[in-house]
Amino acid sequence: MTPPNSSLTVDALFALIGELQARNLALEQQNAALTAHMADLERRLGLDSSNSSKPPSSDGPGKAPRRTQSLREGGLKKPGGQPGHAGRHLKRSEWIDHTIVHRPARCGHCQAALEDHLVQLVDSRQVFDLPAPAPLIVTEHQLYRCKCAGCGTVTAGSFPPEVTAPVQYGSRLAAVVTYLSAAQFLPEDRLGQVLTDLFGVTISAGTIGQMIARAASRTRDFAAAVCEKIRKAPVKHLDETGFWVDSKPQWLHVAGTAGANGLVHYRVSPKRGDVLAKAAHIVVHDHWTSYFQMSGVTHALCNAHHLRELTALVDIDGEAWARRMRGLLRCLCHEVNLVTERPAERTGPLTPIRIRAAERLYDRIVREGIAWHEALPALPRDIKRGRIRRRTGHNLLLRLKLHKEAVLLFLHNPAVPFTNNEAERDARMMKLRQKISGGFRTSQGADNFATLRTLIGTARKRGWKILETLVRCPTQLIHELSPP
């Protein structure tokens, strides 16, 4: 048997080895990409309302609620009513609309009639209830003219400015319609049913829409005045949320201030990056990139977002630095809450020594976290060009390093809150409206809703009575807006 050509056999073996090496390298790259993709999917499955910005309603009925630590953990006060707290209960009224006398008809012993016998008041009880549904009150305005006995001139009277038609609905009914639509988010059909059931009046959906449009038109100057005051406020909260208008995605931008004289302004825009213009002083937000394009302002970041992201890094990714940073932020928030509850005579919530120590620990945690991430193997690229992919924790560390002053501004300025919950609570009303009534059919309807929510939201923050506010002249309300 003739042995095979040795040179041809070696060349074939080298070719086979090269082919196997190339195939193995491709499989390794594919395996790394699939592993990273699977880790990303598993991370998404682990996200819920406690470690991300997802709402609690997205957790689903099958997931048990997770107990999260409060930002005020370990405080001096226990949950619930505090000692010495004046409880609220239903009190007797001096004004009585109706009186019902309950007297016995016969003697309890001998069954004799007691109509003409002595009556003595023993006890009384009061029941607070709503009156029975009644039809609308009809007020007729009659116009007369008179002739002067001296010169003979005939002078006619004039109707009030709000009385413009031979038959129309009044301002109080229009205020109720506006309240049920913009404050309680009832759609027009259900709103008409409520009016029929409560007042016995049938109003078409078109008339309801006209009432809402007129109320929004009256309120636009008030909304503009609120927006201007928010621009000049020392601390303002900004947020945005998406919704649908005529089957197209739109954005509702929210700007507001906190406190007893709080304000809130809603604005509809097709762009998420269309943030509040010409703002000054401090803006609190959630790190959306467009907010950093605002000029002439000082930024403060929402640490509630940071805590949720850190919780995800602890529970899902098991990153030790995230646990330390989460503990530091919670501890600082707790200390600030305790200090602000006491009458401290200083310019900042914490002493300068404590603030410097907290900042040094903050820097050390960030530094060690970045070093840990840089020592990990690089993630595979999905595309040949572009920047190198970073892990979620690495991106958060770089953000905490770059925006350290904005993250810890609440330590230096007592007017800056730890979170941006003020704006998130204001934006939540749009989500509630979407769940009840869905989106908007027209852009004008969305603008009307934003304008009316500006008035209603501001009235709630300031303790104004909503129905009275909707009836009052907007010019008077503008004068009542004190400086923020």
The DSSP bridge partners found for residue 155 are 146
Condensed to tens digits (0 to 9), the pLDDT of residues 173-204 reads 999 999 999 999 999 999 999 999 888 888 99
Q: For residue 12, what is the enclosing H or E element? A: helix 6-46
Q: Which residues contact 309 (CB under 8 A, 6 or more apart)?
A: 51, 52, 392, 396
What string of DSSP letters covers 281-315?
Answer: EEEEE---GGGGG-SSEEEEE-HHHHHHHHHHIII
pLDDT band of 1, cuts 50, 70, 90: very low
* Percent helix / strand / coil, the chain, rounded to 5: 50, 10, 45
- Please identify which residue in the block is written with the tokens 């100057």: 221
**% of residues, the chain, pLDDT over 90:** 54
| Closest C-alpha to 296, from 308, 282, 276, 312 | 282
Condensed to tens digits (0 to 9), the pLDDT of residues 221-256 reads 999 999 999 999 999 999 999 999 998 999 999 999
Residue-level pLDDT at 43: 67
Residue-level pLDDT at 348: 53
The DSSP bridge partners found for residue 249 are 244
Q: Which amino acid is located at 326 in the chain?
A: R
Condensed to tens digits (0 to 9), the pLDDT of residues 448-464 reads 999 999 999 999 999 99
Condensed to tens digits (0 to 9), the pLDDT of residues 55-107 reads 665 665 556 555 545 554 555 566 667 777 776 778 888 889 889 888 888 88
Q: How far apart are the first and last CA of the chain?
A: 103
**DSSP classification of residue 225:** H
Q: Is 128 helix (H, G, I), strand (E, B) or coil?
A: coil
Condensed to tens digits (0 to 9), the pLDDT of residues 338-371 reads 877 665 445 556 889 999 999 999 999 999 999 9
Residues 261 and 257: their CA atoms lie apart, in Å, by: 8
Q: Which residues contact 157 (CB under 8 A, 6 or more apart)?
A: 143, 144, 145
What string of DSSP letters covers 312-375?
Answer: HIIIII--HHHHHHHHHHHHHHHHHHHHHTS---SSSSS-HHHHHHHHHHHHHHHHHHHHHHHT
Q: How big is the CA angle at 93 (ends 90 and 96), to the nearest 5 degrees? A: 135
The pair of three-digit structure tokens given for residue 285, joined into one six-digit string: 């937000």
Q: Show me where the domains of the chain are located.
A: 303-380+388-419
Residues 218 and 224: their CA atoms lie apart, in Å, by: 12
Residues 304 and 418: their CA atoms lie apart, in Å, by: 8
Q: Residue range 412-426: average pLDDT? A: 93
Average pLDDT, the chain: 86
Residue-level pLDDT at 67: 52
Q: How big is the CA angle at 279 (ends 275 and 285), to the nearest 5 degrees? A: 55
Residue 417 · residue 284 · CB < 8 Å: yes
What string of DSSP letters covers 190-203?
Answer: HHHHHHHHHH----
Residue 2 pLDDT exceeds 70: no
Condensed to tens digits (0 to 9), the pLDDT of residues 100-151 reads 888 888 888 888 888 776 778 888 888 888 777 777 889 999 999 999 988 9
Q: Which residues contact 119 (CB under 8 A, 6 or more apart)?
A: 103
Kindly tell me the burial class for residue 369, based on how many C-beta atoms sit within 10 Å of its own C-beta (0-12, 13-18, 19 or more): buried
Number of C-alpha atoms within 13 angstroms, CB side, residue 359? 17
- b/e code 453-477 from CB counts within 10 Å (16+ = b): bbbbbbbebbebebeebbbbebeeb
